[in-house]
Structure 1
């Protein structure tokens, strides 16, 4: 009971009107439920809820949160139920305990799809009551502080989850101190050698510097006193993981790393913040590019402070943060400031933001994400991002993550603006779309009707919103392209049997093939998932050739052993009527090449693999695919006419894709299913006769050594 009394006393220090009896009853109930349970360290289990509650009491949190901490494992690990907790402590605390229980059960480092779904659930729980995540973060912090008692596998799993999910989440909701400690504790598990090395070097640096932190603190206090400011000065060395991350980001050795010391100046008023900044810059030389004013442009989690870096005593680079006491409370506790007490009253901190706004915006923005990877990417971008603030030409502020570019700005304004973007001006100067934006810049987006996003834009954006919008537009454009191409292929197939393509016919074919719509059918034809001949088979089977002398495609070759299989070589795509030779390949049967195929050079020294073959006499079906490379005029209707020409020659187009697009011409490759070499020449002659066909070549690939014996 002594632990409970110490906790009660700690809460009453900041909240004299606290319901001490409620906290004692929560402790006693938790102790009763966990009786006989032990932690891996050998301590009674109740020591863990007490430690979590104490961590939250250090943040001056309300009674309901403290009680939730004491009870947070009862529903999950004991015979207690939601109804029991609600009956004894009320529905508010019962809901919080149940919320923490649900978070504990989520496997946040599972497979990608499962992780995405569980992160959605985590954010939904946070949006209902942020105190749930505050308890969970305190629970994770105590578990990480005592992680040594876990198995090596358990330590690594817990540390990785902490580093990937909980540490950045703590930072994103403003609890920077907790983020830093969680990161460092996880770092000690995941890379103990690197951490130990940094600590050794840091101890040596402190020995050489000889109390440099205390000396710089004294220097700052002198400068503040000189301008009549009484402020608190705090100096500290950065944590090992923070130093390691900076070494990794800048790719520098520890000996070349600067600003590993940080100092904080806490004053009473906003005006004193700027006065203190002037005094610091007057005494020491400011480092260019290292000044950030989060007072005039606060972060979205409510963080306000001035950051600057200067060359301090003995030329050592130090980082200085300047803020008021009210700003400091938000910087230290983040969203926890929303529930904190002082002298028995809820603190009305003017800098505290709506604690659920970020979570609500995130879940609303990405509820429509169509795949798990997209949602995870968006969450990670939002959780790890710092912010820059830019202005529209009208002076409106747009918040973006650090590293954002003009396209991010455009999509932040409106999806339509982003989709139609053709350029940007930053501070009235035209800049490339790859330009990274900086704080305070004015950005003007230049748009044009008919412009559409390109795949390359995905490399030019940082925000999840922009990436999602670009991907959605690309999917829509690709779908439309496939439908257009499928329409041409279907029309040629209908023409080849003397029938007219109609919407009704396409819908009938789609229904018979169990497809959702005619557009679905056309998209499959356009993507070569289905040959256009299949549509004719479904609608007009009686019109297809059923001649008795048609050669079975599976028995088209003469000269094979009874148990030998064959396949046409991709390099030369042999056709009936061309002289051929077979090359035996271990486990793959016989590969058929034209006699003049360049690939055969690679097997000239292996005559035992050569087989004399010939095509079966008779009419072969149009199932032998070859590839034409055409250069055609870029005029309306040309491609459709080309497809029609191929269809009138009783050939089926099985694939089509563009190799090159220019203002005056296209290069396109068409896969056509043909009967024979004679059929190919007929198709080629028909195409060469068209005035808009600049050139036509049969594609042959020089693939050396493709058919090894084994």
Structure 2
């Protein structure tokens, strides 16, 4: 092991000697000696000496060619927590700049340790972890770069931990650290973190892709050699000297493409573009000349060209991307950029601290961190920890779509964003007063999903009273980002308290009526479920949007129990039905189960079983009046829903004003939700008012709630509710 430490230490020192001045090299050498002395005799769970971990982290930092202070801090980042060294001692020996970075990394590490010990408060702990990380980033981004290097080596030794810890750390890495590396533009670390996480989260899929790549290694190497030789020779004819690199795409990115192809009904055999070639040249003019050369050699695939030189990403990433049918065999992705663009792409935000004697401050640095300023705003504004975590995962760390303002400024938003998301991204007031939008000069609906390259113009009106509550309804698709949702929620929260309480109560009662239930008799259970003490506070939170109507119906599905039952006839075995279910009868082996026709339960409803004579177990809603009036209580058994994917009959009744095309619009809406309509009956009145009774096959309460909301938005529809004839009703 001693040889390994010496070799690793020498590798780090040799790497920094290649670009640091003597003073910087001396600082790194001293930090290494100090860390080695303090970590002496300590071992990691992998069995390696403790000093190997900071050495690996420092090596990653040195490969990014960061300054001496950052490398020294990487070497010292564990001495406070593991060796009892004080921050004052570090400041005295290595300077305050190094000490501040070491303390920042130590604090992030402590939070990570607390997360492992506090699984019951996981969302809160993870949110606090993120808040601290963003604050550290605001003070000195190098702290987070060290943390990424620290996480990278921890992932490489994850095999030494218990399986549960492996999955937890891998999931956190995939959801937070890999996307963070991507946002910082440090792609090499991002790809490694993704592949390492994927290996533990989906080991079978990882092995499948790895074997696929390995099986074609020889063919791939021959192919890459031929392609790069063709490009190099053709560029020489045009007087361009280029460095050309060929590589296989990373394992996780190939897996993601496989999933995309599977969703499109394509087989794995149709996935050919597993390779990419990168062409590095001196000037921007050379980039476009090289693009013409590549397109002259091979036919480009339609829609595959992206010009990130003329239109850089918000991270300031620049490159030309195209895909061609190389050698007439298979698609090949080609990336063309200058050497300077390549360094910026590889080092990302770390390029701001790359060691350059006499260098000036990177003027584009602030532009790269626009998204970080947004995160810092959120951590001040968003109260609920779960919302903070969700905001980061959905608004910052998911795939982005790039769109333009009318002035030509590029903005990136999460895929699936709408004109309202765009408006709130520009300015809160622009969102509040938005009344419409144009995309490429064409009017679109406010729930239109934006696509790459579109120009968005937001239409406003000062007479607008503010946001619509419909915008908060996730089933209607008006907003995608947590940022926009939080701004709208804050607007409603500032409105009159009494108005919000009244509106909240109305929304709760309306949502429950649609599900065939009412709030009466279960107020305390509701408060307990939402962890509140006061019903008025509950209504207030619903009124200003902190608790959505859809959230209510989903959470209350198991509590829908009311009071006064009507006398009914003795329970009868259910008629044979075409609907089969997967329902577990607790405490017994497999028994025949059938859904009761009297109350038609669906997943999300609280259910109870009744053992019939010769017909197995009849499954009812727990509030079914037939069950509640049954004298033979000993024949009642506990049951629970089994696997998902089963469809169940649900009776819905729609009150509406009749018009031409109404039934067609209802049928279209049902079909768009991929719901099967198995029965429909209409009763009309002389005044033009009609009631439509529809039987639908649903997967559960959540899908039902979403569909009822959309049906209620159809022109002429007055109300939509679930018919539950067997459930108890109030007089």
* TM-score, reference length from structure 1: 0.68
SS in structure 1 of the partner of residue 85 of structure 2: coil
SS in structure 2 of the partner of residue 286 of structure 1: coil
Return the alpha-carbon distance in structure 2 between the equivalents of residues 353 and 133 of structure 1: 17
- Going from structure 1 to structure 2, the CA distance change for 1:572 and 1:583 (only over 3 Å counts) comes to farther
Q: CA deviation at 1:288?
A: 2.3
Return the alpha-carbon distance in structure 1 between the equivalents of residues 192 and 326 of structure 2: 27
Return the alpha-carbon distance in structure 1 between the equivalents of residues 446 and 542 of structure 2: 36
Mapping for residues 626-637 of structure 1, pairs under 5 Å: none
Tell me the equivalent position of 2:467: 452
- Going from structure 1 to structure 2, the CA distance change for 1:608 and 1:230 (only over 3 Å counts) comes to closer
Mapping for residues 51-70 of structure 1, pairs under 5 Å: 51-70=56-75
- 2:423–2:431 CA contact under 8 A, matched in 1: yes
Which of the residues 300, 323, 337 maps onto 2:351? 337
Tell me the equivalent position of 1:299: 313
Q: CA deviation at 1:237?
A: 0.4
Return the alpha-carbon distance in structure 2 between the equivalents of residues 661 and 360 of structure 1: 38
Tell me the equivalent position of 2:236: 225
Q: Deviations over 1:559-583 (max 9, x none)?
A: xxxxxxxxxx959766xxxxx7899
Tell me the equivalent position of 1:472: 490
Mapping for residues 240-251 of structure 1, pairs under 5 Å: 240-251=251-262
SS in structure 2 of the partner of residue 703 of structure 1: coil
**Pairing 1:142–2:153 present:** yes
- Going from structure 1 to structure 2, the CA distance change for 1:292 and 1:461 (only over 3 Å counts) comes to farther
Q: Deviations over 1:10-30 (max 9, x none)?
A: 212112344333222211211
- 2:131–2:379 CA contact under 8 A, matched in 1: no
- Going from structure 1 to structure 2, the CA distance change for 1:354 and 1:17 (only over 3 Å counts) comes to farther
Mapping for residues 26-425 of structure 1, pairs under 5 Å: 26-107=31-112, 110=119, 111-208=122-219, 211-251=222-262, 252-342=266-356, 344-346=357-359, 356-425=369-438
Return the alpha-carbon distance in structure 2 between the equivalents of residues 661 and 350 of structure 1: 50
- 2:101–2:143 CA contact under 8 A, matched in 1: yes
Q: CA deviation at 1:347?
A: 7.4
Which of the residues 691, 702, 707 maps onto 2:725? 702
- 1:12–1:18 CA contact under 8 A, matched in 2: no
SS in structure 2 of the partner of residue 236 of structure 1: strand
SS in structure 2 of the partner of residue 460 of structure 1: coil
Q: CA deviation at 1:603?
A: 9.4
- Going from structure 1 to structure 2, the CA distance change for 1:355 and 1:31 (only over 3 Å counts) comes to farther
SS in structure 2 of the partner of residue 115 of structure 1: helix
Which of the residues 416, 431, 438 maps onto 2:444? 431
Return the alpha-carbon distance in structure 2 between the equivalents of residues 523 and 154 of structure 1: 40
- Going from structure 1 to structure 2, the CA distance change for 1:351 and 1:387 (only over 3 Å counts) comes to farther
Return the alpha-carbon distance in structure 1 between the equivalents of residues 625 and 258 of structure 2: 55
SS in structure 2 of the partner of residue 309 of structure 1: strand
SS in structure 1 of the partner of residue 276 of structure 2: strand
**Pairing 1:443–2:460 present:** no
Between structure 1 and structure 2, the one with the greater Rg is 1
Which of the residues 422, 441, 461 maps onto 2:479? 461
Q: CA deviation at 1:348?
A: 6.2
Between Structure 1 and Structure 2, how many residues are aligned? 551
Return the alpha-carbon distance in structure 2 between the equivalents of residues 165 and 85 of structure 1: 30
Q: Deviations over 1:466-500 (max 9, x none)?
A: 22223434556796645456999xxxxxxxxxxxx
- Going from structure 1 to structure 2, the CA distance change for 1:470 and 1:292 (only over 3 Å counts) comes to farther
Return the alpha-carbon distance in structure 2 between the equivalents of residues 87 and 485 of structure 1: 61
Q: Deviations over 1:272-297 (max 9, x none)?
A: 11221222223222222222222122
- 1:33–1:79 CA contact under 8 A, matched in 2: no
- 2:565–2:728 CA contact under 8 A, matched in 1: no
- 1:339–1:347 CA contact under 8 A, matched in 2: no
Residue segments in structure 2 that go unaligned for 5+ positions in a row? 1-5, 507-531, 545-560, 572-607, 609-623, 635-653, 658-708
Q: Deviations over 1:163-207 (max 9, x none)?
A: 122111111100011110111112222222222211222233344
Return the alpha-carbon distance in structure 2 between the equivalents of residues 227 and 583 of structure 1: 92
Tell me the equivalent position of 2:586: none
SS in structure 2 of the partner of residue 400 of structure 1: strand
- Going from structure 1 to structure 2, the CA distance change for 1:212 and 1:20 (only over 3 Å counts) comes to same
- 2:325–2:331 CA contact under 8 A, matched in 1: yes
- Going from structure 1 to structure 2, the CA distance change for 1:405 and 1:6 (only over 3 Å counts) comes to same
- Going from structure 1 to structure 2, the CA distance change for 1:172 and 1:485 (only over 3 Å counts) comes to closer
Return the alpha-carbon distance in structure 1 between the equivalents of residues 371 and 86 of structure 2: 32
